[in-house]
Amino acid sequence: MPLEKLKWVYLVILSIVWGSSFILIKKGLVGLSAIEVGSFRIIFAAVFLILIGFRSIMKIKKRQWKWMVISGLLGNFFPVYLFSFAETEIDSAIASILNAATPLMTLIFGALFFKAVFNQNKILGVVIGLLGTAGLILSGASINPDQNYLYSLLVIIAASCYAMNVNILKTHMSDISPLAIAAGSFTVLLLPTLVILYFSGFFEHDLSNIVLQQSIGYVAVLGVIGTGVAMIIFNKLVQISDPVFTTSVTYTIPVVALGWGILDGEVFSTWQLISAFVILIGVFIVNRSKKVFSKFRKQAT
């Protein structure tokens, strides 16, 4: 399949998988604390990736491990815990919506630290996507006034981590296989995460509790599919597209998360659905070539 089409296939898959991750975090928090949800998510993903990517890990060069550590911390460790804590106070769909700040952060960090150059179409698309995101946030706050939106700052910090990570992946790790990046970065996270879980108080729980077991089951799916498999696809997408296209998946994730939220009884308004459509328009514009829009401008003049 041509890379131009393949990147869209990856984008759709990631939208579905990561869009479903927020409801899985919510279900995990029913029987687990935020620290426990984050820890189990990393542990399940790490075990899965190490098992299927052991040979790839062996091929990682000594000089590349520095970037594995940085990518692991920024792309997974910090965001995983930040999202878990954020969803203790805000709806899962709202958390996914706030995550749509990632492309803007990618543009800013790319320009400031990685000498990235972006055309006006990408900037316009990002701005339109952010307008849609703002609409979702404002309408969400109006119909859910009891939620603590200060916790939304945790999602913005996580989005900033993602933005730095995708630029690092594109700039310093493009010569490493997607599986090696995913497996290597989670290998360095496994030991500190096990230590965190040990001191979290998890082993003081009644492990025969059905609610606890169900929560662990949800996080297991989240870790293996929503993190392990998704990171392999994401790393591949980074290598065959530019950072802004890659992070534009955060504009389509809320649409999927919104659907799960509705099914789970979360309350949404017509304005939120309209805002979700605006987000999709932003994604479309981000990924149109400069030539197409230049042609339209010439025809208009």
Q: What is the pLDDT of residues 206-259, one digit of tens each?
A: 989 999 999 999 999 999 999 999 989 988 888 888 776 777 787 778 788 878
Distances (CA, A) of 296 to 204, 288, 289, 299: 64, 12, 12, 5
DSSP string, 112-148: HHS-----HHHHHHHHHHHHHHHHHHHHHHHH-TTS-
* CA pair distance 21, 104, nearest whole angstrom: 22
- Cα 253 from chain centroid (whole Å): 8
Lowest-pLDDT range, 84-93, 110-119, 193-202? 110-119
Residue 201 has pLDDT above 60, yes or no: yes
Res. 292 pLDDT band, cuts 50 70 90 = very low
Distances (CA, A) of 150 to 43, 81, 118, 147: 28, 16, 32, 9
Residue 142 has pLDDT above 70, yes or no: no
At residue 140, the pLDDT reads 64
At residue 198, the pLDDT reads 94
At residue 215, the pLDDT reads 96
Considering the chain, what is the average pLDDT of its residues?
84
At residue 212, the pLDDT reads 95
Estimate the crossing angle of helix 230-240 against helix 34-58, to 10 degrees.
60
At residue 45, the pLDDT reads 96
